[in-house]
Amino acid sequence: MSTVPDSGMRMGKHILKQFLIQGWARFLYHTGVWRLINWLMPRRLLILAGHCVDDPQVNAGLPSHLRIEAGHLEFLLRGLGRRFALKSVTGGLEALSDSRGPRGTVALSMDDGYRDNLTALPPILEATGAGCTVYLESRVLTEGRTNWGHEFFWLLGEGKDSPESFAQAWLAVDGTSAAGLQFQDLLSEGAAHEYSVKKILKYHCQPEQRDAFVRERFESRGGDGPSLCKRIHLDAEGVREMLSCPVGQGAIELGGHTRTHEVLSSLSAEDQTKEIGGAAKELERLFPGAACETFAYPYGRDWDFNQDSRVAARAAGYKVALTTMPGVVTRDSDMYCLPRIMIDDSTPLHMLVAHASGGFLLWKRFGLKA
Ligand SMILES: [Zn+2]
């Protein structure tokens, strides 16, 4: 039996769905019908998820999906601010529970604590009146050490490795583990790309083996861990400086994002408690009183965390936990599985207005998923 018609049909359905989503968003935006939907649908909070604002001094070389151009971010926030209330995540959650609050609220969140959140983000918040919640990876602050992902990006970005040469190097020391077999398949299919190699490193490796291998390769090719970490991430002093930026009372707040940015679902319950609860204690020690009330799961897709992660987040004192599964938050949302919409240079304003006005909540009422 052939699988070709099935996959062809799936592809066709996917294209049709994307066409409908885009068409609906454009229709709401350009006709002004979003206003009617905004009034009809329950109160909601759209949480935007980004990482870096372009600043060549500090984040050149980071993958483009992690960066957004300053002008585009400002355009999106101005467009949203004309139609909805702009808040931080905790401010947005308060607005949601206020029966006289705005119908639609938008909160910006930025993950991983990159240095550009101090050098490039505050002027945009000031110009647009937006708030932002910055989710911090605590080992960066306590040990000045970034995670394996950035050392891997550095190897590729600096031309020290290609995805093929990296996979071959792994095979030279390990061709028998689950990861080794996957790298073997990738190379024989000629499918070694940045994304596919990173996926194996993320989901099919023993974390200790992966961290040691990437670190050794990074250092042997001239990488300097402390200086890479200092260039791309904020240190504790930088976080304090960011919090004291004159962009409006409470416009920037902090949230937890684990100690080492591991895929939580790959860890035992005990290790997840160390990652989530341990990081919460470290943030409280570093920034006493800077309420860290909300938490974001690293990577944030529903296979990246599990029930143990939710239990650990609640035990650590977090009131809510954010994913990167798309959607908007309502009062009925599962507070330890809140959706966010990822933003980058390709994100159109009409799509965010459609989400923030409840345009896709309406779809949900008809059993459709955006
Ligand atoms: Zn992250």
Percent composition of the chain: helix, strand, coil (DSSP 3-state, to 5): 55, 10, 35
What would the mean pLDDT of 122-148 be, rounded to a whole number? 95
Separation of CA 111 and ligand 1 centre (Å):
5
Separation of CA 341 and ligand 1 centre (Å):
14
How many residues comprise the chain? 370
Domain 4-144+233-365 has what CATH class? alpha beta
> What is the model's pLDDT at position 16?
87
Separation of CA 182 and ligand 1 centre (Å):
25
Domain boundaries, the chain: 4-144+233-365, 148-228
Separation of CA 192 and ligand 1 centre (Å):
24
The pTM (predicted TM-score) of the whole model is 0.93
The CA distance from 51 to 141, in Å, is 17
The CA distance from 182 to 189, in Å, is 11
> What is the model's pLDDT at position 3?
46
Q: Where are the beta strands (DSSP E) in 102-149?
A: 104-111, 132-136
Dihedral of the CA atoms 138, 142, 147, 150 (nearest 10)? 100
> What is the model's pLDDT at position 248?
62
Ion ligand 1 — residues with CB under 5 Å?
111-112, 298
Worst-scoring range by mean pLDDT, 1-15, 72-86, 130-144, 150-164? 1-15
What would the mean pLDDT of 27-40 be, rounded to a whole number? 97
Q: Which helix (H) or strand (E) holds 264?
A: none
